[in-house]
Structure 1
Amino acid sequence: MSAAPDIDRRMLEALVEHWLPEAGERQLLLVHGRYTEGADRSFPVKTSERRCRVHVADQHSLLGALEAWQEHQSSHADDPDALLVVTTSVADQQFGWDLLAYAVQRRVLSVDRAEIVARRFGARDVDPRIRQEPWLIDALLDAEPAEGWPRTASVLTRDRAIQALISVRLGRAALGDDAVDIGTLLDFSLDPAGTTRFAALPDAERDGLTDWLTHTVGDAAGLLLRLAAEGRAADAMPLGVVGTAAVGETASTSAALAFGGLLGGVRPEQLIAFTEAVEGALERWVSEAESGGRHSRAARDRVLAVTRRAEELATRAGLTADLAGNRFLPSAFTARLHSVATALTAALDGAGLDAAENALVALREHHLARLEDERMRAVDLAVRVVRWLTLPLREPASVADGITTYSTEWAWVDRALTTLWAGDPAGDPVLGRAFELVFRAARQRRDALDAAFAAHLPRWTTRAGVHDTGGCLLIEQVLDEVAMPLARQSAPVIVVLDGMSAAVAAELAEQLAENAWLEVSPREHRIAAVSAIPSVTRASRPSLLAGTLTAGDQTVERDGFARFWKGPGRSGQLFHKADIGGDAGHRLSDRLLEALSDETVAVAVVLNTIDAALDHGREGDRTGWRLHDITYLPELLDAARNYGRPVVLASDHGHVLDRADGPPVPGAGAESARWRTGEPGDGEIALRGPRVLLGGGTVVVPWREDIRYTHRKAGYHGGAALAELTVPVLVVLPSLHRLPPGWTVLAADRVAPAWWHRRAEQAPAPASVPVSSERAPRAVPPIVASPRVVSQLDPHEMSLFAVDAPEESAKPGESLGERVVASEVYAGQKAFLPKAPDRKAVAAVIDALVESGNRLPLTTVATLTGRTVTRAAVLTTTLQRLLNVDGYPVLSMDGGQWLTLDVETLCLQFGVERD
């Protein structure tokens, strides 16, 4: 008989489980082997038919085996479920029949290790290849987890056995849903515990796992596991990044030799496979980091850890220059940032904008750009501002022209300059210097516009009033001209964001659109009013809320608002700071919620967050405002949506930020930071007339942003700069059925000026503006309320997966969209979808596309359907399944942002005629 194999408890358990059903009344099991020293000598074993208590004796002489059996008989004479297992190296023929007669099978049982492995997996047999690989059997017997191996089919296959072994030896990180791929192995390479276990495995097992994984996954797995065996697993992915220098299109012999110093003995095809796998995994992690999901932060940290280590290895090998085109290396990202900075500086010197635009495109192609939102936002804003600087300067022709142009164009410049003033978030000096130059060039132009605007103010102020507005919307007219038309269907909720500038409004409006609010306007553009003079709260806010030019405190505001709305079947309630908050557990007060629930009550709420941040220095390094930054605003918006109320977000005045380090400007009669009495000096003007509510009807106000008369704060108001006198007015609806007749829906992509958008996204500009229109989409006309559109888009009929109403035949006078959804072809297409979108919503999108020239941005589709952009994208996928008959691209997506309709093919496929 061969040398006795080592046997542990698990192996004995498997033998007992196998032979126990055949034991009958026998209580002795003789097993050829040596029992592991220190292992349990007594333990229970249970099968489906029997349960027993196993006692183990390791005896390697005939006499010892006989004594063990005799002792067992005397000790367990009354226990039929006690089983003695004797592990021994005594040959079978040396035992006499007096002992074998009591043994199961009447012989010394040999240990079939492969059979034991099968039993541990609940199988009856094993793949023959397992028997030919002792390393695998040894590993499976050694590595069985405490809970046992997972149950498998009647035959344990080699692949299933190795997968189970990998899950224990390498950890679950190396096994994704029981399917090993290079991505899961790369995840595993960053697990120090798993890679340490792998490096410590016996050589035969390590080689066996490496061979199987290389055959299953590919050459990249072999290289990765080689590094893990060498204790270098943590550098596997960084080496994959650096390795592109040796195998890329621009790879040189010197680069290959330099990389060989980091990782020698690798075949070119193996390195190519490995670098491609590493880049694929990093791209996956970058996408996960962008998603904002639960693991996004961890994914971002992994990418940065790998790329920073790759940078160190590249520096050590002298390969940084060879990796200048790499899309993961931090130094390559920095080089692209500097290219943008250089191009911006050159554009300011008259070199043209193409280099900056191209540099920005190249920067976006670097994967780290997707992880640096704040830095990319600043760079993108700098390029946008330079676009604006390349356009001809058009000074305002009047006060009305200045207010309108500021609210629809120049406010975006101010919005960008707030970010550029703060510099590069990472503190890069090259980028910071470029931002400074862009800021100063834009600020110089903005100063010129403020000066030109201020020149029109003195004459306008002396005569401006509700009977002669000079083409302006006055602050005291906002309730009458904006809020009152909305109230014909449901009294509005008016949120006064004290101190909100048009630049802040532009940012908040984008977020409102993302949250499925529809921005609307009585005109074809966003509206803005002119504040009272001086542009301070005491003069402007009462004028706004009372609907008449007046100055005063909160009592004047409250009484004036109630008086304005007093009438048959309607009233108005104004809530200041002390009236808004609710009791414990309730964000809003009961009185406010009660007013919001009554459609006949116009509700106004004053929120002071923005003004307080400026006044008390809490603006800090803020470069933008989010909806949730403004106390109570999200809750008010949610309540308004729940009650189906239109919302007017207005300011009482704007503000300028403090960017000057000097002391206050001396001036007699200083009443505030930005207005005084006396005679005007440099950068100031004197204003008088009925609109001047303080200072005895005559005030001196600065039009330059760098003038203040009091101690320093974060920002100011009261002056004559465009940013102070412009009162932004945003009107948003929860659905289109609240849209007043003749009003316009402002699609989010059309509100911003043309130069704000990327060149590839810009609509054609007027002929006088030299903007490239190559690849530019058509301009999208405004959407004006009509009974048909409102009916089609009723929110109660527009659930994304609502079940359709019964089909109806097309009727005369119906739109193209209505004819399409009434067709037999559409009915056939819809049959393939478990739950089709509502027909009216589908028809409305088709009609909007036709009216817009067959092309709409996804943001407009979201606006039309009252959805977020994400849900609009889901709807678009469903629409494509409905409209793309036989795979023809009737409806297509361009870059994930634009929806395009092929009307001719649509009509042909659905058998309808075009209007």
Structure 2
Amino acid sequence: MSGAVGVAQPDAVRRKVEAWLAENDPGEVIALKARPEWPDDLTLTVTGLRITVVPCPTPLAARAALHDRSAGERLVLLTDLDDSELGDGILAHLSRQRVRTINQWDLVRQLFGRVATLDPTLVRAGSWGVAGALIDHVPADGWPTPPGKILTRDHALRSLTAELLDVPPGELDDSGLIQWSARPDRQMRFSNLPEKVADGVTAYLTETAGPVAVAVMAAVRAGHGVDAIPLGLLAGLLWPAPDGRGTTEVEAAIGRTRLERWFGGHRPTREQAEALHRAAEAWVYRTIDLDSNGRDEAMRMLRRAETIAAEVEVTGLLAASTVLPSGFLQRLRAFADAVRLAVPAAGPVPAAAVVRAQRALDVVEAHRAAEPRRLETARMAVRLLRWLHTADGPPPATLLDALHRQVRQDGWVDRARLDLFAGDPDEQVGEAYRLLHQAVGARRSRHDQQFATLLAATTGAESEPGALLRVEDVLDRVVQPIVDRGRRVLLLVLDGMGVAAATELAESVTHSGTWVEFTPDGGPRTGVLAALPTVTEASRCSLLSGRLAVGDRNAEKKAFTQRFPTGRLLHKAALRTGAGTAIDPEVLAALHDPAIPVVAAVVNTIDDALDRSDPATTVWGRDTITAVGDLLATTTDRVVVLVSDHGHVVDRGPESTVLPSTAGENRWRPSGGAPAAAEVAVSGSRVLLGGGSVILPWREEVRYGPRKAGYHGGAAAAEAVIPLILLAPGDEQPVPGWAGAPVASPDWWREPLTETLPSATAVVEPPRRPAKRKAPQTEQLFDPDPRPSAAPEPHPAPDTVSALLASARYAQRRGARAALPDDRVAALLTTLIAGGGRARMDTLAARAGIPAHRITGAVTALRRLLQVDGYAVIRLDPDGRTLHLDEGLLIEQFELEPR
């Protein structure tokens, strides 16, 4: 009975007693239907009369109250018993011989701060027992007082619902409700409500939170409230869009039927299912970004959704999910199928196959729970497909051409295929990557053989290097000219860093814009040729000596001091420090000392990885090579020359081939007998070990010595070509002949292939710029072939661009501000239009011939030029890397008529 009545409030009892006394009833005892509890003084004074209130939970208590009543004393008995339970003997002593009721709405008025008026719609809603519920579930600190004198329906029901769900009133929306469903402890109170009250609260929630409330509360009332979020994640698959795309309707219909038991037999409508799906996915997105606990909770819900999907046998639909891990795997497998079909038996990859793989990758990238490492490997796979789509150009004519191919093309290939080599944990995906890796390896192997042949011929010919920069020339031809200009230098020698690792490190260093990369004449990057064999004792000692030499660090230090008497050479041990500081104070003092023109620091992070860890799975950046980040952070007034002594190749595991050798070195052996098919014989003055004549493997999978994580010493381009990155703080020319670098990555690395492109465009070097005067090759520092940064690549201008440049409004705006040259404007807009209205910043820089570090300023100038009256003709994505053009708005703002 106690659930049907509430606690009698003193004011309500007082009003009931006043009405009783006004009846002139001769009876002296009145019984009121109320919970037998009294929070106030047991004595009331009404119209001058003293009234005693007595709670009576049992008939015996009522009899005792009647028996103990003094003569003439008036009593109010509070009881939740009905007439039959009290019995005729007690009823005979009561006014009207029955238990009177207290008006519940009167009590409600009092509970909300004695409001004067009740909203009529609230009273009409009382059919499901809202008044009783408000009386029964008063919070400890009472119901909140309404803002006015009227107790509105929304205020009362919002207060009641918030109390029953134990959530703040302001969170009774779809997101608050879905968050509540994740708390089983808060659902218990609601689950114990009478059915009519639960119906009424659900109806109100549907008004405030929308159709999502119907599905959530149905699950809660069926005992599956904690599965509301997993059910919502499946709802988008089982109640697909009306067009049915991306799903099998029959399988979905069967799944909906099987899922009804989670909703207590209720089948959500499409509207309710869509609302539940949106709310559940939004919860996942919010929660997964909170912290590690949030990510764990989100993953628990995702796994539970997949478990339910297996129970209702709809796992085949999970690929359509943008959040479920199984959806990511299914999408990745579909992508792997596209890769497998694209890998050619021979010849270039067809353009259509590359486009299919790109589209499959787009689907993978759209998955919100995509695993970053696996996603990055998939991106690398597409890049390699685009590289394989390009027809292999003619073999390089000179060793310099082969070296530049490694720096400008194949080094990027090596970076991508290292990710591919690391593979994917899924066997199906891994098999596709294996096939692609083999196809890439076949072409790269041909390139390595061509490189090694030229290396052996050039080394044996003892010809002058000309534009070819050798490791022993770096101090004289790169460092010394900077010092001669009055600039101080930090020479960073990363032992074992190949071109692939350097591409990552350079991106990491220049990303913030603090450091700007410079290249010879602002053209493509160049590289350095290592000494032979490509091992530390030969190549690093030659680098730091400024001449061909062999020796350990003591020999390096002695030779470097002879070359730069006031310089300072620091090896890894000298860079270490104690707790609290990243760099030794003596190192800092050397870096900041204006009397020390050259500080050289040797960092062994990569070389150490070749022995002890797996360099194939490492991202080489400031975070992994911490010494680089620390040194750059404290070096703001030196030109940084980033170089290595040799590159490396990684261990190929079961694919490795071990050849016999008496020397026990990993990647070189003394001359003796004819070289095998995977080897080349090299001799000459630049061969510093083996008596000047050695056998070097050019195939990467060959080794002689014990197994390690990686190797160096051989004639593969990845070992013999040293990257050269010159950095300076700010946009200034650090040394004559060097200028801001263009985008370093090749087109196939950055730009998606379109079906309109020709199907086998050869990879070629940028067009050579004619020299102004003839000069002997020995006088040239670098090959004079870089593309001038001031001259954009020629593009046929679309009609819109031609019309813009000819318009009067454009001429007016261009004359009123420091605008870009028209050819730059045309190049930028043409690139955007060709990309469907969007392009990455590095693509824009490459296509418009703008140095990489200046593209942001160029885009700012373009936006200022084209945004008439503040309309966003050009806008930048929040990622800061993708630019968008609204061509229609451009035409409208400049009143163009495309020709």
TM-score range, shorter chain: 0.7 to 0.9
1:727 aligns with 2:722: yes
Consecutive unaligned residues of structure 2, counting only runs of 5 or more, are 15-29, 43-51, 83-101, 765-785, 792-808, 833-838
Return the offset for 1:114: 1.4
Structure 1 residues 670, 161: CA separation in 2 closer, same or farther (over 3 Å shift)? same
**CA displacement, residues 540-576 of structure 1 (integer Å, 9 cap, x when unaligned):** 112222333322222232333344444xxxx422221
Structure 1 residues 291, 118: CA separation in 2 closer, same or farther (over 3 Å shift)? closer
Structure 1 residues 880, 207: CA separation in 2 closer, same or farther (over 3 Å shift)? farther
Return the offset for 1:495: 2.0
Structure 1 residues 890, 132: CA separation in 2 closer, same or farther (over 3 Å shift)? closer
Structure 1 residues 331, 293: CA separation in 2 closer, same or farther (over 3 Å shift)? closer
Superposition pairs of residues 722-871 of structure 1, within 5 angstroms = 722-737=717-732, 739-740=734-735, 742-747=737-742, 750-759=743-752, 768-769=761-762, 783=789, 852=828, 857-858=840-841
Return the offset for 1:853: 5.8
**CA displacement, residues 264-299 of structure 1 (integer Å, 9 cap, x when unaligned):** 899999532234334434554565588687777357
Match among 629, 648, 654 for residue 647 of structure 2: 654
TM-score for both structures, normalised by structure 2: 0.74
- Aligned partner of 2:493: which letter? V
1:596 aligns with 2:595: no
Answer yes or no: is the 8 Å Cα contact 1:893–1:899 preserved in 2: yes
Structure 1 residues 123, 356: CA separation in 2 closer, same or farther (over 3 Å shift)? farther
1:535 aligns with 2:517: no
- Aligned partner of 1:554: which letter? R
Whole-Å separation in 1 of the counterparts to 2:589 and 2:884: 45
Whole-Å separation in 2 of the counterparts to 1:152 and 1:783: 70
Return the offset for 1:42: 9.4
Answer yes or no: is the 8 Å Cα contact 1:245–1:256 preserved in 2: no
Match among 447, 450, 453 for residue 451 of structure 2: 453
Percent of residue pairs bearing the same amino acid type: 32
Structure 1 residues 387, 89: CA separation in 2 closer, same or farther (over 3 Å shift)? closer
Return the offset for 1:765: 9.2
Which residue does the alignment assign to 1:891?
Answer: 874
Whole-Å separation in 1 of the counterparts to 2:821 and 2:130: 62
Whole-Å separation in 2 of the counterparts to 1:422 and 1:338: 17
Name the SS of the counterpart of 2:586 in structure 1.
Answer: helix
Which residue does the alignment assign to 1:346?
Answer: 341
**CA displacement, residues 676-722 of structure 1 (integer Å, 9 cap, x when unaligned):** 34345212222222212222222222112222221111111111111
Name the SS of the counterpart of 2:724 in structure 1.
Answer: strand
Answer yes or no: is the 8 Å Cα contact 2:336–2:428 preserved in 1: yes
Which residue does the alignment assign to 2:471?
Answer: 475
- Aligned partner of 1:421: which letter? F
Answer yes or no: is the 8 Å Cα contact 1:754–1:765 preserved in 2: no
Answer yes or no: is the 8 Å Cα contact 1:492–1:646 preserved in 2: yes
Answer yes or no: is the 8 Å Cα contact 1:246–1:252 preserved in 2: no
Name the SS of the counterpart of 1:723 in structure 2.
Answer: helix
Whole-Å separation in 2 of the counterparts to 1:149 and 1:882: 60
Whole-Å separation in 2 of the counterparts to 1:65 and 1:862: 98
Which residue does the alignment assign to 1:202?
Answer: 194
Superposition pairs of residues 67-86 of structure 1, within 5 angstroms = none
**CA displacement, residues 287-343 of structure 1 (integer Å, 9 cap, x when unaligned):** 55886877773575266335423531451xxx4556665555655544443333333
Structure 1 residues 278, 514: CA separation in 2 closer, same or farther (over 3 Å shift)? farther
Whole-Å separation in 2 of the counterparts to 1:236 and 1:109: 43
Match among 172, 185, 202 for residue 193 of structure 1: 185
Structure 1 residues 819, 712: CA separation in 2 closer, same or farther (over 3 Å shift)? farther
Structure 1 residues 862, 551: CA separation in 2 closer, same or farther (over 3 Å shift)? same
Q: Which moved more, 1:705-714 or 1:621-630?
A: 621-630
Answer yes or no: is the 8 Å Cα contact 1:422–1:623 preserved in 2: no
1:218 aligns with 2:213: no
Which residue does the alignment assign to 1:692?
Answer: 687
Answer yes or no: is the 8 Å Cα contact 2:386–2:753 preserved in 1: no
Q: Which moved more, 1:890-899 or 1:534-543?
A: 890-899
Whole-Å separation in 1 of the counterparts to 2:737 and 2:70: 103
**CA displacement, residues 479-525 of structure 1 (integer Å, 9 cap, x when unaligned):** 34434455546423222211111111122223234333433222411
Whole-Å separation in 1 of the counterparts to 2:568 and 2:116: 81
Return the offset for 1:358: 2.0
1:311 aligns with 2:309: yes
Structure 1 residues 905, 419: CA separation in 2 closer, same or farther (over 3 Å shift)? closer
Structure 1 residues 341, 709: CA separation in 2 closer, same or farther (over 3 Å shift)? same
Which residue does the alignment assign to 1:717?
Answer: 712
Structure 1 residues 232, 708: CA separation in 2 closer, same or farther (over 3 Å shift)? same
Answer yes or no: is the 8 Å Cα contact 2:36–2:80 preserved in 1: no
Structure 1 residues 438, 767: CA separation in 2 closer, same or farther (over 3 Å shift)? closer
Which residue does the alignment assign to 2:112?
Answer: 118
Name the SS of the counterpart of 2:687 in structure 1.
Answer: coil
Match among 220, 224, 233 for residue 232 of structure 1: 224
- Aligned partner of 2:607: which letter? D
Answer yes or no: is the 8 Å Cα contact 2:493–2:602 preserved in 1: yes
Superposition pairs of residues 134-153 of structure 1, within 5 angstroms = 134=126, 135-146=129-140, 153=147
Return the offset for 1:33: 6.2
Report how many residues are paired.
Answer: 778
Return the offset for 1:240: 0.9
Return the offset for 1:891: 2.3
Which residue does the alignment assign to 2:362?
Answer: 364
Superposition pairs of residues 271-670 of structure 1, within 5 angstroms = 271-281=269-279, 283-284=281-282, 288=286, 297-298=295-296, 301=299, 304-305=302-303, 307-309=305-307, 311-315=309-313, 319-321=314-316, 325=320, 327=322, 333-349=328-344, 352-366=350-364, 367-368=366-367, 370-394=369-393, 395-424=395-424, 427-463=425-461, 468-487=464-483, 488=485, 490-516=487-513, 517-522=515-520, 523-566=522-565, 571-598=566-593, 601=596, 602-615=598-611, 617-619=612-614, 622-640=617-635, 643-661=636-654, 664-670=658-664
**CA displacement, residues 695-751 of structure 1 (integer Å, 9 cap, x when unaligned):** 22222221122222211111111111111001112233342136545534335xx32
Q: Which moved more, 1:518-527 or 1:303-312?
A: 303-312
- Aligned partner of 2:435: which letter? L
TM-score for both structures, normalised by structure 1: 0.72
Whole-Å separation in 1 of the counterparts to 2:192 and 2:717: 71
Name the SS of the counterpart of 2:193 in structure 1.
Answer: coil
- Aligned partner of 1:610: which letter? I
Name the SS of the counterpart of 2:641 in structure 1.
Answer: strand
Whole-Å separation in 1 of the counterparts to 2:523 and 2:286: 40
Whole-Å separation in 1 of the counterparts to 2:581 and 2:455: 47
Structure 1 residues 141, 436: CA separation in 2 closer, same or farther (over 3 Å shift)? same
Which residue does the alignment assign to 2:675?
Answer: 681
Whole-Å separation in 2 of the counterparts to 1:42 and 1:508: 81
Q: Which moved more, 1:655-664 or 1:265-274?
A: 265-274
**CA displacement, residues 168-219 of structure 1 (integer Å, 9 cap, x when unaligned):** 43344xx6x9254333333333333334443333322321121112223333
Whole-Å separation in 2 of the counterparts to 1:184 and 1:882: 46
Return the offset for 1:161: 3.7
Return the offset for 1:877: 9.9
Answer yes or no: is the 8 Å Cα contact 1:664–1:708 preserved in 2: yes
Structure 1 residues 118, 151: CA separation in 2 closer, same or farther (over 3 Å shift)? closer
Which residue does the alignment assign to 1:21?
Answer: none
- Aligned partner of 1:401: which letter? D
Return the offset for 1:8: 4.9
Whole-Å separation in 2 of the counterparts to 1:901 and 1:312: 45
- Aligned partner of 1:406: which letter? Q
Whole-Å separation in 2 of the counterparts to 1:483 and 1:118: 83
Answer yes or no: is the 8 Å Cα contact 1:656–1:717 preserved in 2: yes
Return the offset for 1:651: 1.3
Return the offset for 1:359: 4.2
**CA displacement, residues 839-871 of structure 1 (integer Å, 9 cap, x when unaligned):** x9xx789997677567673358999999999xx
Answer yes or no: is the 8 Å Cα contact 2:647–2:720 preserved in 1: yes
